[in-house]
Structure 1
Amino acid sequence: MFYGWNLCALSTLGNLIIQGTAIYSMNSFIEPLFEAYGWSRTATSASMGIAALVGFGCAPLIGTLDMHIGSRKMMCLGSLLAAAALFGMGATDNYYIFTACFCLVWAASQCCGGLVANGLLCHWFKVHRGLAFGIAAVGMSFAGSIIPIFSLFCITHWGIANAYYILGVCAALLCIPCLLMVRERPEMMGLAPDGLAVEKKQNSCETQTSDSDEAAHRKDPSIRQFLCMKEIYLIGLGAGLGLMCASGLMSQLKPRFTELGYDSVTAMTFMSVAAVSCGLSKFFWGWLADAIRPIRALRLVMALHVLALGLSVMHFGYFTTFIYCIFMGACCGSYWTLLPAVVGFYFGPAHFLGTYRFVSFFLLLKSCAYPILGYSFDKTASYEAGYLVYLVLVFIGLLLTLLLNEKKGAEYKAMTAEKN
């Protein structure tokens, strides 16, 4: 088996344990924290929002560090930082210290998984890059069903502090496989992306010339040059708007079904169906990105997302709603797979980290999604107005992606050169 798939599995594990803890653990801790320390849901929600902003906001810094010290050190650092922060969350009853530690967990999730893992996989895969991103992103989806249950079990049996300590130990243990397994590039193991054998250079002079040319090619543009690239804004805003609306919709899907008249059990069942579809669809979108090119796959899913949001304001029977949940979940599950695939296709593995650190900054839009539905329900007693706002935003994102010229992509140019 190609060694890159081992790194893909490690990235999945990092996304599950650390990103999953950052995103989903509060489902289990909100009520116990209120009972233990008197922290209101508004306070804990604010802590989550601040931590998410810090996590996505520090992406440019994390990407820059990764470019200087390498993925293995960054992933080890991320696991240890997450462990220390989780121990801090368990040890304190001070809200501000707790929030600061939570911010560190979110930042660490970009190191052991997230941004750094995507950069690593971009070097190890070319033909199957989309599928690799999809498999790695599945960890976040599975975490939604694993982390809350595991956390609640720990809280029930050993209390809040020990539950955080256990999560911290799990994060720290990730440092061992990261240290032993991670290799920056397949060339270090005599391989090429996707497992092809590397041809050995017989002439040392040719090797030195090739290496120097490659190093020059891999030199990233300056920060000012990056900020002047319109493609970064088209990709970041386009996919960012789609991801923003997908996150907001999935976060309050159960109340929407309750609003439509379904009982709580049925509404939760429909939400679970959408969540499972969201997770499993990442494999499909990764495969499709490899088959028809990532930019086309992103445009397709955003068009389908617009259609799904249009259907959201309609009322269906049980079976049709079940099918709708599968459809909507599949649309919402695509962005974490397709966004890095598009960046890799357009800028190539040599400039992936340099570019993705800036594109990731647009993921801050995700934090704007939740108030839209809340405001819609408070003012109209329905989520439908919020869904219509989402529809317009995703449509704008689709238009932005249509402005991208895929023939300017680094991978497209490389494929054209190989054919010629």
Structure 2
Amino acid sequence: MHRMKAGLFKWYRGWTMVAMGIVMVMLSVGSVVYGYSIYLTPVSKELGLARETANVGIVFQHIGSALLAPVIGRILDFVKVRTVVAFCGLALGAGLIGLGFGDALWAKAVLLVLPLSLGLAGAGAVASYVLVARWFKVHRGRAMTIVAFGQSAASVIVAPLIAMLIEEFGWREALLIQGIFVGAAMLLIAAGLVDRPAEGEHEPLGKAVPVPEADLHDKGEIGHPLTLRQIASSPVFWMLAAIVSATLAVVQASIASLVPLATGRGISLVQATTLLSMLGISGIFGKTVLAIVADRFQRITLITVAIAIIMCFTLSLTVDAGFAGLAASSLMAGMAIGGFFPMYSALLADVFGAHSLGTTEGLVAPAISLSSAGAIYLAGVTYDVSGDYRLTFLIFSAILLGALVLSATVRLFGNLHEVRPKPV
């Protein structure tokens, strides 16, 4: 272990990169994830689509993300982030504009699979985390957690603006306005992105903070990432991929099932939807706490605690405790869910290096997409078989128990920096 000294710059530009990352995540997640749900009703009504047919669109988008994330991730390790963000940001803007023209469903499916999926990865969370990981070593967990606030900002800022545009101008014109704005904003952001600190520019620490030996030599250089074979041959990679994909699959399927579970137990639709708001609000609180403590504990420890809390949430859903019980469980789970994504990204950067984070994130992404789709399908099947969601959440709890065991096993490797594959 060595100790790093405070940098010579009064303002560390890494925090500027964090601020830009927040905006990138906010615009990409708000436009694709929240935007789809907001446009769903007016588009379905005008085009005469059944809800089942309309919902297929989000499946196409998930397929696009699963196919393109590994490619975008690998490119980010060889090409400047600003170049990738500019291209993918323009693709996102053009895709949004294109969705507003014509009625052909095949054309809209192509736009969801290609430009919107490109924008979500290459101008959103993956690109932001890759950038921030290169600027931060000691405060990496805090910086990545702050970037994750962009997801919360998407629901608070972008979603209402989209709704206002639709009410004022209609959904086609709203997509045109949104596409132009998002494309232009991404270009402006890309122009200000800097891939890594300048020579002599160090992360300010205040007091001297211990830094792992492996990170001292990890300069986040472009063009020298680990090979796909090196990453894939690491047992730690597969264990972390299994932990992350299992946990996020259960999280996404649980959120999708929460409202129907509540209404099926006699809770009104209005009360049931407030449970989602509680998840979001407690998620913001969880990120705030995590931003303070993220770099004071081992990341695998924080991930293990988060999984344990989420498992308590799924177990609680097997018992009918009324609205009060569901509300308490949702508030508890939201805090853990809010910090899970940035923590696992920070851990991947720690283990495989900031210079290989794009590749590593890209390889994990298809596992997350496929397992999430499988978990959501499983929830529907088990409900049809049993008539309620108790069996569903018992299975989800068992899956999370497996993730906990894997997490504990990863801890047996000791210092995860020491198991990082060596560059060739």
Instruction: Tell me, yes or no, whether TM beats 0.5.
Output: yes
Report what 1:29 is aligned to.
39
Alpha-carbon separation, structure 1, partners of 2:377 and 2:220: 46
Q: Give the aligned residue type for 1:403.
A: T
Q: Give the aligned residue type for 2:335.
A: A
Matched, 1:56 2:61: no
Q: Give the aligned residue type for 1:231.
A: V
TM (norm. structure 1) is 0.87
Report what 2:392 is aligned to.
386
Offset of 1:287 from its aligned partner? 3.7
CA shift digits 1:269-307 (9 cap, x unpaired): 232112211233223334433111111111111122212
Question: Structure 1 stretch 114-123 or stretch 131-140: which is displaced more?
Answer: 131-140
Offset of 1:37 from its aligned partner? 1.4
Offset of 1:69 from its aligned partner? 1.8
Secondary structure (helix, strand or coil) at the match of 2:122 reads coil
CA distance 1:221–1:180, shift in 2 (3 Å): closer
Q: Give the aligned residue type for 1:130.
A: G
Alignment of 1:65-104 (within 5 A): 65-103=75-113, 104=115
CA distance 1:345–1:125, shift in 2 (3 Å): same
Alpha-carbon separation, structure 2, partners of 1:280 and 1:384: 29
Q: Give the aligned residue type for 1:169.
A: I
CA distance 1:217–1:304, shift in 2 (3 Å): same
CA RMSD of aligned residues (A): 2.6
Alpha-carbon separation, structure 2, partners of 1:266 and 1:144: 19
Alignment of 1:245-394 (within 5 A): 245-364=250-369, 365-394=371-400
Alpha-carbon separation, structure 2, partners of 1:383 and 1:374: 9
Offset of 1:194 from its aligned partner? 4.7
Q: Displaced runs of 4+ in structure 1, greater than 6 A?
A: 211-218
Match of 1:223 among 228, 250, 253: 228
Match of 1:399 among 381, 385, 405: 405
User: Residue 248 of structure 2 contacts residue 372 of structure 2 at CA under 8 Å; is this kept in 1?
Assistant: yes
Offset of 1:373 from its aligned partner? 2.1
Question: Structure 1 stretch 233-242 or stretch 221-230: which is displaced more?
Answer: 221-230
CA shift digits 1:24-79 (9 cap, x unpaired): 11222122112211222222211111211211331121022112221111111121
Alpha-carbon separation, structure 2, partners of 1:319 and 1:225: 49
User: Residue 133 of structure 2 contacts residue 140 of structure 2 at CA under 8 Å; is this kept in 1?
Assistant: yes
User: Residue 15 of structure 1 contacts residue 137 of structure 1 at CA under 8 Å; is this kept in 2?
Assistant: yes
User: Residue 346 of structure 1 contacts residue 409 of structure 1 at CA under 8 Å; is this kept in 2?
Assistant: yes
Secondary structure (helix, strand or coil) at the match of 1:39 reads coil
User: Residue 26 of structure 2 contacts residue 154 of structure 2 at CA under 8 Å; is this kept in 1?
Assistant: yes
Aligned length: 398
CA distance 1:215–1:53, shift in 2 (3 Å): closer
Report what 2:212 is aligned to.
none
User: Residue 77 of structure 2 contacts residue 225 of structure 2 at CA under 8 Å; is this kept in 1?
Assistant: no
User: Residue 254 of structure 1 contacts residue 268 of structure 1 at CA under 8 Å; is this kept in 2?
Assistant: yes
Alpha-carbon separation, structure 2, partners of 1:255 and 1:216: 48
Report what 1:409 is aligned to.
416
Offset of 1:343 from its aligned partner? 0.4
Offset of 1:135 from its aligned partner? 1.5
CA distance 1:380–1:240, shift in 2 (3 Å): same
Higher relative contact order (CA 8 A, sep 6+): 2
Secondary structure (helix, strand or coil) at the match of 1:185 reads coil
Report what 1:120 is aligned to.
131
Alpha-carbon separation, structure 1, partners of 2:168 and 2:220: 54
Report what 2:182 is aligned to.
171
Alpha-carbon separation, structure 1, partners of 2:413 and 2:158: 39
User: Residue 17 of structure 1 contacts residue 170 of structure 1 at CA under 8 Å; is this kept in 2?
Assistant: no
Report what 1:200 is aligned to.
none
CA shift digits 1:171-201 (9 cap, x unpaired): 112234323321000126x4123578xxxxx
CA shift digits 1:94-117 (9 cap, x unpaired): 101111111221221111122111
Match of 2:141 among 130, 139, 144: 130
Alpha-carbon separation, structure 2, partners of 1:362 and 1:79: 24
Q: Give the aligned residue type for 2:416.
A: G
Secondary structure (helix, strand or coil) at the match of 1:15 reads helix
CA shift digits 1:136-195 (9 cap, x unpaired): 11212332344443222222221121111122123112234323321000126x412357
Alpha-carbon separation, structure 1, partners of 2:365 and 2:247: 13
Offset of 1:326 from its aligned partner? 0.7
Alpha-carbon separation, structure 2, partners of 1:217 and 1:109: 22
User: Residue 80 of structure 1 contacts residue 175 of structure 1 at CA under 8 Å; is this kept in 2?
Assistant: yes
CA distance 1:289–1:42, shift in 2 (3 Å): same
Report what 1:202 is aligned to.
none
CA distance 1:233–1:93, shift in 2 (3 Å): same
User: Residue 65 of structure 2 contacts residue 366 of structure 2 at CA under 8 Å; is this kept in 1?
Assistant: no
Q: Give the aligned residue type for 2:119.
A: A
CA distance 1:331–1:195, shift in 2 (3 Å): closer
Report what 1:17 is aligned to.
27
Matched, 1:180 2:185: no
Alignment of 1:231-250 (within 5 A): 231-250=236-255
User: Residue 15 of structure 1 contacts residue 114 of structure 1 at CA under 8 Å; is this kept in 2?
Assistant: yes
TM (norm. structure 2) is 0.87
Q: Which runs of 5+ in 1 are unaligned?
A: 197-210, 414-420
Alpha-carbon separation, structure 2, partners of 1:40 and 1:125: 48
Identity among equivalent pairs (%): 19
CA distance 1:39–1:171, shift in 2 (3 Å): same
Offset of 1:213 from its aligned partner? 10
Question: Structure 1 stretch 228-237 or stretch 322-331: which is displaced more?
Answer: 322-331
CA distance 1:411–1:160, shift in 2 (3 Å): farther
CA distance 1:30–1:354, shift in 2 (3 Å): closer
